[in-house]
Amino acid sequence: MWRAIAALLAVIGSDAAPLQATSSGVKPFKIDLTGEASRMLELVKATRLPNKPVYPTVGASAGIDLDVLKQLQREWIHGFSWKGEQKELNKYHHFTTDLEGLNIHFIHERSRDPNAIPLLLLHGWPGSFLEFVPLIESLTQQSKTSNGDPVSFNIVIPSLPGFAFSTAPKENWTIADTARIFNSLMTDLLGYEKFAVHGTDWGSGVGYSMYEQFNSTVRALHAPFLPFFPLTEEQLEAANVTLSPMEQFQVQRGDDWYATGNGYFIEQSTKPNTIGLALEDNPVGQLAWIGEKMIEWSDPRAGTPPSVLNHQEILRSTALYFLTKSFTSSAFIYFQNPGGFRSDYVQPPTDAPLLFSSFKYNVGFWPAQMVRRVGNLVYYQSHEFGGHFPGIDNPPALLTDIREIGRFWA
């Protein structure tokens, strides 16, 4: 299913203690986008959507449903306040720093526990640091692993280069480059001798690159997604992988994504400027492009407990892209990384533990036998609830799995 994409890309190439502001090269940062937010709201109000769909019977099978988009637009106008969202986000400790000429934004929240594990949380597209906000407080507080070991974390959540408040990188910047500067962020600037990483979507690519390159500093990796193309059911059968009924469902969901959901992938991998410039000053257009993915890639029960992925979350995510003018630059991560997803499953030069969480409604599926081929797999957990954005689609399950890092931390 993903092999055609691989071929195409081969052709195109709190209670927490804050970080001290005196840390070398690190500056406190406060979100302040209220001025642009007023203009954004006017654009949302001025956008005229069609009265009815061209083909009423297709529903969401041809993209975001018109009625859903209209409802999101109404909620944006009448029930969404960027000022309120900004106030909530500024409760966390934000910073910026210069790394190889890039101004990188990150949140740093420390636990009161002196034995807390440093943990780097990496988002993807169309995500952002917002994906991890529901996890911050719980991760910094002391809890226990499944075998009763105490565990807590010092949390670092950067915005990938070209996303949100992090500046766009130079041409030909790859996820391996991002891995290098994030390792510097954790070690040189924040002073952590070793740390764990969690990454999803493109963040899994950055995290896995760090797992490969920096085996003395990255001492654990947790992921719900891998930068390796999932295998088809036929390929898995040839590899002597036996699938459970839920795993068969997950493989089929990946096939369905390939058949009807990968148009954005090809567009952003080949012509990111076209879609970027078309939607750069169009908040409702960005809402359609981003909102469709957040809806389709999530559990159908999103917005009901334990999920917090509701319309408000979709609006907040879209507003962040629009207000930071990062829609176009974020799309370039596809164009600049034609080899970002690999076909060959290889064992990296590290013995650091690898933990994996499989969520039923994700758009890619990797059984434990395949995950074991790309790292020192010590923990694998399947979840019946959740999808591509587990930090907001099933926060309790993701919290439980991340905490298992404590069982293997040394």
Query: For residue 13, what pLDDT band results from cuts at 50, 70 and 90?
Result: very low
pLDDT at 299: 98
pLDDT at 6: 47
Q: Is there a catalytic annotation at residue 67?
A: no
Q: Output the average pLDDT for the chain.
A: 94
pLDDT at 10: 42
Q: Helical H runs in 306-389? A: 311-323, 327-335, 368-371
Angle between helices 34-46 and 82-89 (to 10 degrees): 140
Asked whether 275 and 335 are in contact (CB, 8 A), the reply is no
Task: Judge whether residue 21 has pLDDT over 60.
Answer: no
Mean pLDDT, to the nearest integer, of 313-329? 98
Task: Judge whether residue 328 has pLDDT over 80.
Answer: yes
Task: Judge whether residue 16 has pLDDT over 50.
Answer: no
Q: Is there a catalytic annotation at residue 192?
A: no
pLDDT at 258: 87
Q: Is there a catalytic annotation at residue 201?
A: yes
- Compute CA distances 397 → 62, 254, 366, 403, whole Å: 32, 21, 18, 10
Nearest to 90 by CA among 100, 82, 98: 82
Instruction: Provide the CB-side half-sphere exposure for 248 (13 A, CA).
Output: 5
Percent pLDDT > 90 in the chain is 92
Q: What is the pLDDT of residues 143-188, one digit of tens each?
A: 999 999 999 999 999 999 999 999 999 999 999 999 999 999 999 9
- Of the residues 92, 192, 208, 334, only one is catalytic, namely 334
Asked whether 309 and 392 are in contact (CB, 8 A), the reply is yes
- Of the residues 177, 201, 299, 401, only one is catalytic, namely 201
Query: Kind and range of the H or E element at 402?
Result: helix 395-403
pLDDT at 14: 39
Mean pLDDT, to the nearest integer, of 190-211? 98
**Distance between the two ends of the chain, CA-based, in angstroms?**
39
Nearest to 37 by CA among 71, 4, 11, 76: 76
DSSP string, 57-107: T-GGGGSS-HHHHHHHHHHHHHH--HHHHHHHHTTS-EEEEEETTEEEEEE
Range of weakest confidence among 21-25, 52-56, 231-235, 325-329: 21-25
